[in-house]
Structure 1
Amino acid sequence: MTTLFVRHAVSDYASWRKVYDAFADFQQANGVTAEAVYQALDDPNDVTVTHDFATLEAAQAFTKLDELRTAMQSGGVVGTPTVWFTNKV
Structure 2
Amino acid sequence: MYTLQIEHKIKDFGMWKTAFDRDPVNRAASGVTGHRISRPVEDPHYVVVELDFEQRDQAEALLANLRATVWNSSSAAPALQGVPTTRILESAS
Q: Could you state the TM-score of these two structures normalised by the residue count of structure 1? A: 0.88
Give the structure with the larger strand fraction: 1
Contact residue 2 and residue 90 of structure 2 kept, 8 A:
yes
Cα contact 2:36–2:50 (8 A) shared by 1:
yes
- Give per-residue Cα distances to partners, 1:6-40, cap 9 Å, x unaligned: 00001111100011012188111111110010001
Which aligned pairs between 1:7-86 and structure 2 lie closer than 5 A? Answer: 7-23=7-23, 26-65=26-65, 66-69=68-71, 70=73, 74-86=77-89
**Share of identical aligned residues, percent?**
25
Structure with bigger helix share is: 1
What amino acid does structure 2 have at the position aligned with 1:86? L
- Unpaired segments of 5 or more residues in structure 2? none
Structure 1: gaps spanning 5 or more residues: none
1:75 counterpart SS class: coil
- Alignment partners' CA distance in 2, 1:12 and 1:3: 25
- Runs of 4+, deviation exceeding 2 Å: 66-75
* Matches of 1:64 and 1:72, distance apart in 2: 18
**Once the two structures are superposed, what CA deviation does each residue of 1:63-86 show, in whole Å capped at 9, x if it has no partner?**
111443347853321111110111
- Number of aligned pairs? 89
Identify the range of structure 1 (64-73 vs 35-44) with the bigger mean alpha-carbon deviation.
64-73
